[in-house]
Structure 1
Amino acid sequence: MVYTEDTRPVRQGEELDVNKLERFLRQKLEVPSGDLVIRQFGAGHSNLTYELSVGEEWKAVLRRPPMGPVAPKAHDMEREFKVLQSLHPVFPLAPKPYLYESGNLIGRPFFLMERREGLVFDHAFPEAVEATDQLGRQLSETMVDRLAELHSLDYQQTSLKDMVKPEGFMERQVYGWIKRYEKARTDDVVSGKRLKTWLIDHIPLSNEATIIHYDYKLNNAMFSKEDPSRMVGLFDWEMTTVGDPLADVGAAMSYWIQKDDPELLKTGLGKPPLTAQDGFYTREEFIQRYAEKSGRHVDDIDFYLTFAYFKLAGIVQQIYYRYKNGQTQDPRFAGMHVFVNQLIHHAEETAGL
């Protein structure tokens, strides 16, 4: 068995029942004879993602919620499966979904989708790739262009139209994430009271609605081994919906770390992402290219950036809350309250508070 560099042995406590899965797969799919091997994708702090393989002939990816209790409506595997069913035919970068299982087999819902092969750029250039400023710029351009392409799709021509409610999107987002932050708040993170008031007072009146990925970042994309600047896959569609496209840009920019950012912003989720290296776009360059490619005005982008930092603080706080309450033992989560406080501070600075 040849293992790919983006997988590793399954973390202790996050194992799957190999025998149960193997019997299930042979009942539901055409799987060749041989032993089922399960490995885990190491990236990500939320849903658990595994590579399933039988020999060299068959591979698939399994997505399931994290261990322990989860927030209501979060980690909805059935919804993500349906999103992929809607998107794959019109946006082939979204992987093809195979099947959904409601939770009887492994105790939690999961779905299976196709395994894409390629390069993932996370904290460093893969060894097989020559690290150049030019490639950094090409990757930046590709990230912008594919986001603009996604936002150009007509969601009314997909089954997403029956799953979403675009009206009042930003208002629901702001009030919803304030509520989630407050519910998951622990005594070692700030209240963010000034920031929450500012967000409520500055909700933009936008009537435009497009398909938005809402977790768009470099390490959620996969690129061609033959042409490292060409995207061949886009993953983690859990948060996908129909709403204000600039909210998607703002969310993308909250992950798009640049070289002159504060150190804690760079390292809050681990090692600094590759976007902090020479050659990659700054956030301003990304936003300006997006404006050119999409034809949209970006005058209010500071609101969307501010909200994106607050939303990211809420996401990280939900993860930290699970850790602090003993619902997960992943040591990566132990200091996340410090990052939450930094994100709130950075959001306040972006808002001019």
Structure 2
Amino acid sequence: MTTIAAPQPMRHRIETVPQHWRQLEEYLASRGMQLRLDTDPQQFAGGFANLNYLIHIDGKPAVLRRPPRGPWPPGAYDMGREFRILSRLWERFPLAPRGLHLCEDARVIGVPFQIVEYRAGISVRDSLPEPFCRDAAVAQRLGETLVDLLAELHRVDVAAIGLENLGKPNGFLVRAAEGWIKRASLAVEGWASAGTQQLIIELAHWLREHQIESHGAVLLHNDFKLDNVLLDPQSLRPLAVLDWDQGTRGDGLYDLAILLSYWTERNDPPAMHQMAQMPTAQPGFPSREQAALRYARALGRDLSDFRFHRVLAQLRTAVIFQQLHARWRSGETQDPRYAAFAELGEGLLEFAVSIARGQVF
């Protein structure tokens, strides 16, 4: 049998988080599927949360996807929700990999998991690969493609794929704001500096003072950014959109704001660059404002209240890094990258305040 090599980088064997492969083999066999175990499955590198493995079932590559180790924030890493989306979304949004199997019985490998269609491609984070890294025209095209993909997702008719009851779009932005304010306080409780806590208080006050109503109800990815889009290594054409475990329905401008919370510009403060999430500070990429206007034109959206979405999404991104640092402080992870996330998170909170004050887009 020919094995398809994964363009995405894989973890070294010594760094791979082990799984109960024999138990999985027995479980899948009981459901008529044969897991290949003549060599150990490989774990994909990158990312800070869900664990993903390249496996082979019935002679074909697939991805085993499971939550991270340790306790999870409420509503996070929901394999059932993600599988519900991926089992149907591919019908109307072909870049979504197809969900193949869901197991919610934690007795098999210790946690719920799913098996998803494998898509080959490269994942780009803080820099474009050779020979594209100095090509401004390629950067512009890729930036525009990201925005266009998000608009395409938000045009999906959810009723046509049985997702019209996903989530609770009514009052979505109110719940999102209160939820992230609460998560911010919990993430820094007991260890954060007074400066960090004061930034959270200021942002919470601003969001409550400027609260707006949700507009419409589209299918949200809820973490749409470049490294969740697999690209063709020769052309950088998009091949797949990954990581749907936070998917729901709500205001599409919030999805756009999440994308822009990672969208670094050349003159941004150090924290935005230290995130190293997207190469958008490279010449050629559209600015955040240009990206927002492109999306607004595509879907006919009014951006007059978009600052609220921006502040909320930037708070969200800052809190995620604070949550990751809290996991490192508690010993739930030994990943050395997490040690610096407290300072990074504070810098992102400061940037959120600058957005609230109208100092940056």
User: What TM-score, normalized by structure 1, do the two folds share?
Assistant: 0.92
Alignment of 1:1-353 (within 5 A): 3-6=5-8, 7-10=10-13, 12=15, 14-28=17-31, 30-31=33-34, 35-53=38-56, 57-102=59-104, 103-127=106-130, 131-186=134-189, 187-189=191-193, 190-191=196-197, 192-228=200-236, 230-268=237-275, 271=276, 273-352=278-357
Distance 1:33 1:313, change over 3 A: closer
Aligned letter for 1:197? H
Structure 2: distance between partners of 1:65 and 1:109: 8
Aligned letter for 1:115? Y
Structure 2: distance between partners of 1:139 and 1:58: 30
Aligned letter for 1:344? L
Structure 1: distance between partners of 2:262 and 2:212: 22
Structure 2: distance between partners of 1:336 and 1:330: 11
Structure 2: distance between partners of 1:54 and 1:155: 30
Comparing 26-35 with 163-172, which one deviates more in the overlay? 26-35
Distance 1:207 1:278, change over 3 A: closer
User: What TM-score, normalized by structure 2, do the two folds share?
Assistant: 0.90
Distance 1:31 1:132, change over 3 A: farther
Distance 1:350 1:130, change over 3 A: closer
Matched residue of 1:206: which SS?
coil
C-alpha distance after superposition, 1:61-96 (max 9, x if no partner): 111111112123221111111121231222111100
C-alpha distance after superposition, 1:43-68 (max 9, x if no partner): 2111111211479x521111111111
Comparing 131-140 with 7-16, which one deviates more in the overlay? 7-16
Matched residue of 1:52: which SS?
strand
Structure 2: distance between partners of 1:112 and 1:288: 37
C-alpha distance after superposition, 1:231-268 (max 9, x if no partner): 11000111111001111110110011122211222113
Please tell me whether the aligned partners of residues 213 and 239 of structure 1 are also in contact (alpha carbons under 8 angstroms).
Answer: yes
Percent identity between the two aligned chains: 34
Please tell me whether the aligned partners of residues 123 and 227 of structure 2 are also in contact (alpha carbons under 8 angstroms).
Answer: yes
Distance 1:227 1:98, change over 3 A: same
Please tell me whether the aligned partners of residues 32 and 58 of structure 1 are also in contact (alpha carbons under 8 angstroms).
Answer: no
Structure 1 gap ranges (5+): none
Aligned letter for 1:67? R
Aligned letter for 1:63? R
Please tell me whether the aligned partners of residues 123 and 273 of structure 1 are also in contact (alpha carbons under 8 angstroms).
Answer: yes
Structure 2: distance between partners of 1:20 and 1:36: 15
